Structure 1
Amino acid sequence: MRPFRNWLPLLLLVSTALCSTAQAQQTYPTRPITLLVPFPAGGQADALARATAPALQKELGQPVIVENTAGVGGALGAQRVLNLPADGYTLMFGTPIELIQTPMAVAGAKYQPDAFRMVAPVVSTYLMMVVRSELPVNSVAEFVALARSRSGAAGLNYGSVGRGSAYHLVAERFAQDTGVKMVHVPYRGAQQMITDLAGGQIDMGFLAMGGPVPGLLQSGKFKAIGYTGTTRHPAFPNVATLNESKLVKDFNFDLWGAVVANRNLPEAVVAKVHAAVNTALRQPQFRKSLEATGVIPAEPMALPKAAAFYASEITRYQRVGQSIDLQPE
């Protein structure tokens, strides 16, 4: 056995490293933080991240810089976060799209949802069931009746932003719950889908209540017949929730936005970022800046509840994917 003095340098080295790590976590942050958005600039996720960054900067006392790394359904940005050190200096404004749905449908996504952890939710963006303005229906029940009465070439269709996307999975869940058959029309992006829905080229789609969608509804470009929120949307109180139709059950789908991180982020850093987001969410001005984008600000959520919510979202979307035999391509 080696004499103790031979082990002493190694023990001192390990002790110094552990002390340095602990001190770094206690003093975090000491330099600028990147809030990565896995989608292009100008989109809704980007707008929400840019509204969130100043609030985080105020609470954490360091610059928070929004950076866009888009591509492969958000997978490029998500993978970049995982490839960088889990030290809290690269966080992500995450959504169910790149975290859960893209790994289910895109072979280029080389990670699974549990590679991340939800630090704190920021917004809720529930989906509205929208139909072209000329479709002769004004409720979910009328839509289902019309869909059941048509078949073959006369059947109804619905748009999505691609296989495995939230719009696709939610529409498939709707079809399963109501027993209707519809043709899936996938698009490469939301803008073209919205344009075609407003132009009457497709019959129906589930759209996130943010960006241009509320304004297009108010101007009559298309009609809202159902809402996937737990309660009616405050700006559209005359539109019933899907659950109110009694044709579906537990039909609540939220394209939430949250500050997320590599699951290996130290707990002390997680706690600081979590506290910063929740403090910001209690500020009226921050909530107003989020509401201005058309979304609903989240209520501050404890870490265990955030973890449980994220786990439940993974399970829910994966079950829908399995039910339609969705495979990565």
Structure 2
Amino acid sequence: MTRMVSKRLVLKSLAGTAAASLLAPLSWAQTFPAKLVSLVVPYPAGGGSDVVARGLTGQMTKALGQTVIVENQGGASGTIAAQKLLNAPADGHNVYVGSPNELILAPMAIAAAKFKSEDFRLVQKVGNFTLAALVPSALPVSNMDELIAYAARRAKEGKPLTYGSVGNGSIFHLLGEQLSKVTGVPMIHVPYRGGAPMTQDLVGGQIDLYLGAMGANSPGMVAAGKLKLLAIISPERLDTYRNVPSVRDSRSLQDFTYSLWVGLFVRKGTPEPVVHALHKATTSAMADPALAHVAEGAQIVLAQPQTLAQAEQVYTESVAQFRAIAKSIHLKAE
């Protein structure tokens, strides 16, 4: 008799657990969002990720029926904001607005970063940065082939070209190292703490080259003759740059094409109904024509909306690509 009662209790407990697990997704779907949603941007206000995040908030607020705000949490190449997200509950109320630069490269370059790329899940890719090759106006080159030939001559003279980046392990560092590797031309990396001082030195001729994202002020500097735009490196481009050569047009760098994108991420393990709700809200916000205009001002090409499966594939491929480059240039965490 006692065994039968015990068996009934076990079966009842198992049935209750199963019912709870079936109801949990429904519960999440019904209660999310229970409070305001923060889009955590890993840089101060004004950068590309920040502009995109602010362009999304209005339509996402309407779609979710809850206020969506932007929270700027700069520092340590985006790792402070990343750790903040990982320290918060995996409930979708904190969403990271970033790129492979922070979530793939930073953990490999910054010893203090205690997270892995796999700790995050891409909800939606929102836009692609315009990557380009920029040099001071006084540098005696007008295209990528002339740049490589000039860099080779300088290296033979013992005065290799210098290229700037926003820090060790950033994509801009990797692009410079990769350019040096594929051409066999030595160049010197000059890391900066941010884009503003680097651009100032590029304009002044203190460094010779920048391979990376066009900023909001870059077109004006090119138009004013302060900088020369040699080529577009990314496959995606704004209409503004239709007449600018692609790096594929050069004789020596036809395969030197790279992408840097910005997207919305959540902690891995966030409930599936929450991820779907955020994906649907982001996709809806991306349909707003105003966002395309805002993105263009930040030199970002708005992406085509993707399914969650496609987003997962994009992130997986980016992790593999950048880890391979980092390994090939022997990137070490500092």
TM-score between both structures, scaled by the size of structure 2: 0.92
Q: How many residues are matched?
A: 329
1:29-83 CA-to-partner distances (Å, cap 9, x unmatched) read 2321111112223333222211222221122121011112222211111011112
The one of 72, 77, 81 equivalent to 1:68 is 72
Return the alpha-carbon distance in structure 2 between the equivalents of residues 247 and 232 of structure 1. Answer: 21
Return the alpha-carbon distance in structure 2 between the equivalents of residues 127 and 153 of structure 1. Answer: 29
What is residue 323 of structure 1 aligned with on the other side?
A: 328
Give the CA deviation at 1:198: 0.9
Return the alpha-carbon distance in structure 1 between the equivalents of residues 108 and 39 of structure 2. Answer: 24
Return the alpha-carbon distance in structure 2 between the equivalents of residues 231 and 116 of structure 1. Answer: 25
What is residue 303 of structure 2 aligned with on the other side?
A: 298
8 Å CA contact 1:158, 1:204 repeated in 2 = yes
The one of 18, 24, 48 equivalent to 2:21 is 18
Runs of 4 or more off by more than 4 Å in structure 1? 8-13
1:199-250 CA-to-partner distances (Å, cap 9, x unmatched) read 1111001131232222222222110101112255421233211122132243
1:70-120 CA-to-partner distances (Å, cap 9, x unmatched) read 222111110111121111111110211210110010001111111111110
8 Å CA contact 2:25, 2:272 repeated in 1 = no
Alignment of 1:131-170 (within 5 A): 131-151=135-155, 153-170=158-175
Alignment of 1:1-329 (within 5 A): 3-4=6-7, 6-7=9-10, 10-11=13-14, 14=17, 17-18=20-21, 21-27=24-30, 28-151=32-155, 153-230=158-235, 233-329=238-334
For structure 1, the residue ranges without an aligned partner over 5 or more in a row are none
Percent identity of paired positions between Structure 1 and Structure 2:
37
Which letter does structure 2 place at the counterpart of 1:65? Answer: I
Which range moved further: 7-16 or 205-214?
7-16
8 Å CA contact 1:131, 1:204 repeated in 2 = yes
Return the alpha-carbon distance in structure 2 between the equivalents of residues 177 and 143 of structure 1. Answer: 14
Which range moved further: 278-287 or 187-196?
278-287
Return the alpha-carbon distance in structure 2 between the equivalents of residues 57 and 250 of structure 1. Answer: 41
8 Å CA contact 1:210, 1:295 repeated in 2 = no
Which letter does structure 2 place at the counterpart of 1:228? Answer: I
Return the alpha-carbon distance in structure 1 between the equivalents of residues 88 and 217 of structure 2. Answer: 34
8 Å CA contact 1:126, 1:209 repeated in 2 = yes
8 Å CA contact 1:227, 1:233 repeated in 2 = no
8 Å CA contact 1:156, 1:182 repeated in 2 = yes
Which range moved further: 112-121 or 203-212?
203-212
1:233-289 CA-to-partner distances (Å, cap 9, x unmatched) read 421233211122132243332221101111211222212211221222222222222
C-alpha spacing 1:233/1:142, structure 2 compared with 1 (3 Å): farther
Which letter does structure 2 place at the counterpart of 1:40? Answer: P
Which range moved further: 34-43 or 57-66?
34-43
Return the alpha-carbon distance in structure 2 between the equivalents of residues 72 and 111 of structure 1. Answer: 13
For structure 2, the residue ranges without an aligned partner over 5 or more in a row are none
C-alpha spacing 1:9/1:76, structure 2 compared with 1 (3 Å): farther
8 Å CA contact 2:25, 2:271 repeated in 1 = no
TM-score between both structures, scaled by the size of structure 1: 0.93
Return the alpha-carbon distance in structure 1 between the equivalents of residues 37 and 7 of structure 2. Answer: 43
Return the alpha-carbon distance in structure 2 between the equivalents of residues 252 and 29 of structure 1. Answer: 40
C-alpha spacing 1:55/1:74, structure 2 compared with 1 (3 Å): same
SS at structure 1 position matched to 2:74: coil
